[in-house]
Amino acid sequence: MARIILVQGDITEQAVDAVVNAANSSLLGGGGVDGAIHRRGGPEILEECRALRASRYGRGLATGQAVATTAGRLPARWVIHTVGPVWSAEQDRSEQLASCYRESLRVADELGARTVAFPAVSTGVYGWPLDDGARIALRTVRDAVAGRVEEVRFVLFDDRAYGVFEAGLAAG
Ligand code: AR6
């Protein structure tokens, strides 16, 4: 199992092998983490995303899947783009959210990444309740096959998100 650590801050500032992006299926950018990653990482990331859309991902990246590009100017080697589900009160999409963490870790292992930084996928623009998003994130990473990944760093933007993950980690 990979070591799990929590950091409060900005995911674009993390010196890790791979940074996970909370993207959308277009892979062509957006707000939140996605906007910050493209802004700080520079145009190389978008160029590779466009190439992915022109080749293997003509219809976009499906929810719960993950794909890697360069990290451009970020202090990381790769960005792993994953698409979280939009929160729904009527439909249980938890498995899709868990899949984001599992698939991102699988791609990270394939790349040979030892340290991976995750945001709290789907808990921003996509409206997933933070408590539940943290529970799914922590449980899935704990249960995932870590392979060569040694450290998973959850990067939480504010006090509240950090507190929720801290409580979730302590609760085991
Ligand atoms: N570093 C770490 N965490 C952040 C940062 C940052 N720089 N910025 C926001 N967060 P979101 P989603 C937190 O909205 O819900 C985009 O438009 C934020 O507080 O980035 O999966 C995409 O293109 C929240 O807890 O991702 C998609 O269309 C968490 O990161 C859509 O948003 C995730 O918020 C994806 O929505």
Q: The domain spanning residue 94 has which CATH number?
A: 3.40.220.10
What is the CA(120)–ligand 1 centre distance, in A? 7
Q: Is 154 in the pocket of ligand 1 (CB under 6 A)?
A: no
* Number of domains comprising the chain: 1
Which structure tokens are listed for 101?
């963490």
Print the domain residue range for 85. Answer: 3-171
Q: Is 23 in the pocket of ligand 1 (CB under 6 A)?
A: yes
The pLDDT-based confidence of 146 (bands split at 50, 70, 90) is confident
Reported pTM? 0.98
Q: What is the mean pLDDT of residues 153-170?
A: 97
Between these two residues, 160 and 172, which has the higher pLDDT value? Answer: 160
pLDDT of residue 45: 98
What residues act catalytically? Answer: 34
Q: What is the pLDDT of residues 8-50, one digit of tens each?
A: 999 999 999 999 999 999 999 999 999 999 999 999 999 999 9
- Positive/negative CA dihedral, 153, 154, 157, 161: negative
pLDDT of residue 107: 98
List CB contacts of 107: < 8 A, sequence separation 6 or more.
Answer: 18, 66, 67, 68, 80
pLDDT tops 80 at residue 69: yes
pLDDT of residue 161: 98
The pLDDT-based confidence of 172 (bands split at 50, 70, 90) is confident
* Per-residue burial over 144-156, b = 16 or more CB atoms within 10 Å of its CB, e = otherwise: bebeebebbbbbb
Protein residue with least CA distance to atom 31, ligand 1: 125
Protein residue with least CA distance to atom 7, ligand 1: 10
Q: Is 63 in the pocket of ligand 1 (CB under 6 A)?
A: no
List 154's β-bridge partners, or say none.
6, 118
Protein residue with least CA distance to atom 13, ligand 1: 157
